[in-house]
């Protein structure tokens, strides 16, 4: 059994990584300006809990082969905390969950799917803002599509998810810190940015 010590919440094996090396790595991981690398799912899945930090983030370029309308959960919820509401869409109320007054009952969307990059698959769940980015539709339109069972409209979403690779950022779930179990969850969908134009020098 390797000897484990705890350093600022991280467990390390004493023989494999010195304290200064670990501190340097934590510093790198927490640096908001550090580049986040695109990795393959295969490489991500080969990572071990003992050598992964809670703050690590990676990007993946993926598609979804079999998006299903059944796996879209569309409901009305609090505009502040997202918890389910019984009020009609657009109505203001005081949320009992987050206790905020004047919140609005609005469509909230979660979507479960399996992303793939050709090396491996990963099950992810996206919440409203990321689902909107993935579907390129507004939340009320997704809500309507789901509740009217409009499979025809969903076909173009399916095709989009299957044919146009998109970038997601993932990080370990808190089971890493709590139970030393490494699972990866969606952190955000990265919008495709337009490459800056190369400006030729004036002569
Ligand atoms: Zn709320």
- How remote is the CA of residue 202 from the centroid of ligand 1, in Å? 55
The CA 44 to ligand 1 mean position distance, Å, reads: 34
Report the C-alpha dihedral over residues 191, 80, 77, 70, rounded to 10 degrees.
20
Q: Residue 93 C-alpha to ligand 1 middle, in angstroms?
A: 9
| In a shared domain, residues 19 and 53 | no
pLDDT at 164: 95
Q: Is residue 197 part of a domain?
A: no
Confidence of residue 28 (pLDDT cuts 50, 70, 90): confident
Could you give the number of structural domains in the chain? 2
- Cα of 114 to ligand 1 centre, how many Å? 29
3 with 59, same domain: the answer is no
Q: From the CA of 201, how far away is ligand 1's center (Å)?
A: 53
The residue whose two tokens read 């339109």 is 141
Q: Are residues 39 and 21 in the same domain?
A: no
User: Residue 202 pLDDT more than 70?
Assistant: no
Q: Please check whether residue 95 lies inside any domain of the structure.
A: no
Q: In this structure, is residue 172 part of a structural domain? A: yes
* 47 CA distance to ligand 1 middle (Å): 36
Q: What is the pTM of this model?
A: 0.81
87 C-alpha vs ligand 1 centroid, how far in Å?
12
Q: What is the pLDDT of residue 1?
A: 46
How far, in Å, is the centroid of ligand 1 from the Cα of 81? 4
106: enclosing H helix or E strand = strand 103-116
Residue 84 domain-assigned (yes or no): no
Share of the chain above pLDDT 70, in %: 86
Cα 35 to ligand 1 centroid, rounded to whole Å: 34
**Centre of ligand 1 from the C-alpha of residue 36, in Å:** 32
19 and 67 inside one domain? no
User: 174 CA to middle of ligand 1, Å?
Assistant: 23
Please tell me the distance from the alpha carbon of residue 52 to that of residue 98, in angstroms, as a whole number: 33
pLDDT band of residue 96 (cuts 50, 70, 90) is very high
Q: Residue 171 is part of which domain span? A: 35-74+109-191
Q: What angle do CA 72, 146, 166 make, to 5 degrees?
A: 50
> pLDDT tier at 31 (50, 70, 90 boundaries)?
confident
Query: DSSP assignment of 82-143, as one string?
Result: --B--SPTT-EE--TTT--SSEEEEEEEEEEEEEE-SS-EEEEEE-HHHHHHHHTS-HHHHH
Same domain, 1 and 70: no
pLDDT at residue number 162: 97
User: How many whole angstroms separate alpha carbon 70 and alpha carbon 80?
Assistant: 26
Q: Are 61 and 165 in contact (CB under 8 A)?
A: yes
Give the residue-averaged pLDDT of 55-70.
95
C-alpha of residue 157 to centroid of ligand 1, in Å:
29
Q: Do the Cβ atoms of 53 and 29 come closer than 8 Å?
A: yes
Supply the pLDDT for residue 151.
Answer: 95
């Amino acid at each position: 059994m390797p000897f484990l010590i705890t350093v600022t919440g991280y467990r390390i094996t004493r023989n494999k990584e010195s304290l200064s090396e670990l501190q340097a790595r934590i510093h790198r991981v927490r640096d908001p300006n550090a580049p986040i690398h695109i990795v393959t799912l295969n490489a991500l899945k080969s990572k071990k809990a003992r050598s992964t930090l809670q703050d690590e983030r990676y990007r993946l370029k993926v598609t979804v082969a079999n998006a299903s309308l059944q796996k879209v959960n569309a409901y009305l919820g609090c505009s502040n905390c997202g918890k389910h509401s019984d009020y009609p869409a657009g109505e203001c109320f005081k949320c009992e969950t987050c206790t905020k007054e004047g919140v609005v009952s609005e469509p909230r969307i979660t979507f479960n799917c399996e992303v793939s990059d050709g090396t491996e698959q990963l099950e992810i769940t996206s919440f409203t803002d990321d689902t909107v980015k993935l579907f390129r539709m507004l939340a009320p339109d997704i809500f309507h599509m789901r509740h009217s069972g409009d499979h025809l409209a969903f076909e173009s979403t399916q095709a989009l998810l299957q044919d146009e690779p998109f970038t997601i950022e993932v990080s370990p779930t808190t089971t890493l810190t709590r139970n030393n179990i490494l699972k990866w969850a969606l952190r955000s969908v990265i919008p495709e940015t337009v490459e800056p134009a190369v400006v030729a020098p004036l002569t």
